[in-house]
């Protein structure tokens, strides 16, 4: 997915929001916004929005001296999700199809995205996960794919944000029961509220899966900049599951079968999904719709 002109004011908004989180003075806030505005003048519109965000957030960190501005919010998101987890786990156990229920909860959890909004209602999102089918729903194809995999099949799960990664554990626990070899990939350096290795471990992911960094500090998965270890897992996996909007933006046009689970929080992303899936763009305005999308028109 290429960067849109509509992404540019969003970068500026994010820059000011982060500068204020870092508690820098007005002059520093102005310096941050000015630096980001200068970067936007020659931004590569052929790159994905998350790939361009690397330079944006690098400039913010350099000026503010704050490399991980969302650290406290990330820790709080993880703690809050872990408190909710036991109740959700019990609901999933009682569900007619536990894996489907877990997927809907995990997809609803993608609402926790400080790059898209300053606040969100996770309880309301989880309630929608209980009752609302995603606007675009390829879950049946996903379940069919799962049923066709052999024991010890390699499954690569691309995690997204803190808090959300605790809800991902619900899906991973279900997949573990199939006997799959699970690997979860997170970001290798701080970027917005994306999960790092330590977040995955603290949320219990290590109990069911191997955890690796993807080699980048990007709010997505830009394959050209990912580590050799990650690329090996990506190429060899029998199944790739991608969580979140940023991972979708960077991988939506990759020649590989991927199951994308995300909450759409941006009209640009909504239009792109609608175009790929042949949906009416009016169904995807980017206001919190959940999506399960299979990029299945490829050979693997």
Convert the pLDDT of each residue in 162-179 to its tens digit.
999 999 999 999 999 999
**Cβ atoms of 196 and 168 closer than 8 Å:** no
Question: What are the b/e assignments for 199-233, b being 16+ CB within 10 Å?
Answer: bbebbbbeebbebbbbbbbbbbbbbeebeeebeeb
What's the burial of 121, exposed, middle or buried (CB within 10 Å: 0-12/13-18/19+)?
exposed
Model's pTM, two decimal places?
Answer: 0.96
Q: What is the pLDDT of residue 297?
A: 56
Cα angle, residue 45 at apex, residues 225 and 253 outer, rounded to 5°: 60
Integer angstrom CA distances of residue 165 from 123, 157, 172, 179, 204: 16, 11, 10, 21, 9
Question: What is the layout of strands, in order, in the sheet containing 289-294?
Answer: 136-137, 289-294, 259-264, 239-243, 154-158, 181-186, 210-213
**What's the pLDDT tens digit per position in 208-257?**
999 999 999 999 999 999 999 999 999 999 999 999 999 999 999 999 99
Which residue carries 């003048």 as its tokens? 41
Overall residue count recorded for the chain in this entry: 300
Helix axes 71-94, 164-176, angle to 10 degrees: 40
SS3 call for 51? helix
pLDDT value, residue 296: 76
Average pLDDT, consecutive stretches of 10 residues, N- to C-terminus, the chain (300 residues): 95 94 92 96 95 95 95 96 97 96 97 89 94 94 96 97 97 97 98 97 98 98 97 98 98 96 96 95 96 74
> What pLDDT, on a 0 to 100 scale, did the predictor assign at position 46?
95
The neighbour count for residue 143, using CB atoms within 10 Å, is 14
């Amino acid at each position: 997915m290429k960067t849109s002109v509509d992404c540019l004011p969003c970068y500026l908004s994010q820059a000011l929001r982060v500068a204020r989180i870092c508690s820098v003075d007005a002059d520093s806030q102005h310096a941050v916004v000015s630096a980001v505005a200068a970067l936007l003048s020659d931004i590569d519109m052929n790159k994905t929005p998350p790939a361009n965000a690397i330079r944006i957030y690098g400039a913010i960190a350099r000026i503010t001296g704050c490399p991980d501005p969302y650290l406290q919010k990330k820790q709080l998101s993880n703690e809050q999700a872990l408190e909710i987890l036991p109740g959700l786990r019990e609901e999933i156990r009682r569900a007619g199809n536990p894996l489907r229920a877990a997927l809907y909860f995990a997809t609803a959890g993608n609402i926790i995205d400080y790059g898209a909004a300053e606040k969100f209602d996770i309880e309301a999102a989880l309630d929608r996960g209980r009752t609302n089918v995603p606007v675009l729903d390829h879950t049946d194809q996903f379940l069919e794919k799962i049923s066709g995999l052999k024991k010890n099949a390699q499954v690569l799960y691309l995690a997204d944000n803190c808090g959300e990664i605790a809800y991902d554990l619900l899906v991973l626990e279900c997949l573990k029961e199939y006997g799959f070899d699970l690997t979860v990939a997170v970001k290798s350096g701080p970027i917005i509220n994306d999960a790092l290795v330590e977040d995955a471990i603290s949320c219990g992911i290590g109990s069911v899966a191997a955890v690796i960094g993807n080699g980048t500090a990007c709010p997505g998965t830009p394959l050209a900049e990912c580590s050799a270890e990650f690329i090996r897992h990506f190429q060899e996996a029998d199944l790739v599951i991608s969580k979140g909007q940023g991972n979708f933006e960077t991988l939506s046009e990759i020649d590989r079968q991927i199951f994308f689970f995300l909450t759409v929080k941006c009209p640009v992303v909504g239009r792109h999904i609608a175009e790929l899936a042949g949906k009416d763009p009016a169904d995807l305005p980017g206001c919190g719709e959940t999506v399960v999308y299979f990029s299945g028109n490829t050979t693997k």
